[in-house]
Amino acid sequence: MTEKIRPFNLAVLVYMSQVGIVVFTLPRTLADYFGTNGWLFLIPCFLLVSFNIYLISCVYRLGKGRSVFDILEQSVPKLLLYPLYAALITVWMLFGCVIGKKYVLLFQMLAFPTTNPMVFKLMFDLLAFMLIIKGIYAISRAATMFFWITLWMYLLLLWVLPDFNWVRLTPFILQGGHDQIKGGLEVYGAFLGYEMSLLLFPYISKAKGSMAAIQAGNAYLSFSYINLGLISFGIFSQDQLKQLLYPLLDILAYIQFPFVERLENLLYGFFLFLVLITAVMYWWGALETARRILPRLKQQVLTFMLLGITYSISFIPKTIDEVNTWIGFLGNVTIGIAFGLPLLLITLLLIQKKGEKRDG
């Protein structure tokens, strides 16, 4: 019997694919672009992501659980799909790369300022390689294990509640912001990762709850983001949030124990599990797409090639600002893929159904 990803594990995998490096700067982004009570903007983002996931569920239902590649290749000659496949490989491969590079640069800055960050990036990529070659079921199990390892960290927000003040939220809503379209794309980028569920169709359980599990994973992430945003705006003023580079680290710095110094540095290490799964899922998506172009190449060899290319490319952006520029551009492209690919698949499936009725 072929192993399938169960709904709970699917929900966890979607959540772990979404949460990532953007969480460190999310409160500052909300305050900068949306002003007072900027955390409220997370609610329409949640609704828009839920709609996008609904489109993905339509693809699953209309395609009866078939692979998105099979759906595409049924209507379009495979040779004509190669440019699309190459574009998907490039975007997902690079997006996973820069997500990992940003985590590494922050880790190096906080804990090992004199160490070459590319040493840590190599270790990060080796961990990813060992996960990817084991396949999506091993990735799913690892994501579930990492989820339980990091779940307790949300309880740390309770530690700072005595410093929370409702007055800091002010009665004004979304005032004092700027470039809200640009900011909206940046905030929406914090939710990305759910679109990789498009590639999971052949691997998930046929149980009714599978598509609802994707929505549940996104709902849990949104609940976590809203809590973080609300607490951040209640602890810091809007102007303070604009000045803080990484508000989440400043919140963690509030937590002090007599036997541990700089606890935020220790806690930052736990975020490796979250960022690793996010990067791994994008690299796995690039691998699945690359196998349609090079089906005869062994999975381990193809994975090594892809990660070798991304590791080489990761030498190019050397500073966090450069990495942020890459993440911003690739995030916008990924948003386009997240909406465009399901719409394309739905269109092809409707055309295929009309053709079947005509032949029948």
The model's pLDDT over 55-70, given as tens digits with 9 standing for 90+, comes to 999 999 998 889 999 9
Query: Hey, CA dihedral for 185, 100, 260, 113, is it positive or negative?
Result: negative
The SS3 call for residue 195 is: helix
CB atoms within 10 A of CB 175: 12
The SS3 call for residue 204 is: strand
The Cα 10–Cα 214 span in angstroms is 7
Q: Which pLDDT tens digit goes with each residue over 145-161?
A: 999 988 888 887 788 88
pTM of the complete model beyond 0.85: yes
The Cα 304–Cα 310 span in angstroms is 10
The torsion angles phi and psi of 47, rounded to 5 degrees, stand at -65, -40
The Cα 167–Cα 233 span in angstroms is 10
Q: What is the mean pLDDT of the chain?
A: 88
At residue 89, does pLDDT exceed 60?
Answer: yes
Judge whether 187 and 177 are in contact, CB under 8 Å: no
**Secondary element (H or E) of residue 352:** helix 320-359
The Cα 295–Cα 304 span in angstroms is 15
At residue 22, does pLDDT exceed 90?
Answer: no
Q: What value does the mean pLDDT take over residues 38-58?
A: 94
Q: What is the token pair recorded at 281? A: 């899922």
The Cα 131–Cα 129 span in angstroms is 5
Indicate the domain borders of the chain: 7-86+134-264+319-359
Q: What is the token pair recorded at 331? A: 């995030």
Helix axes 180-189, 26-34, angle to 10 degrees: 160
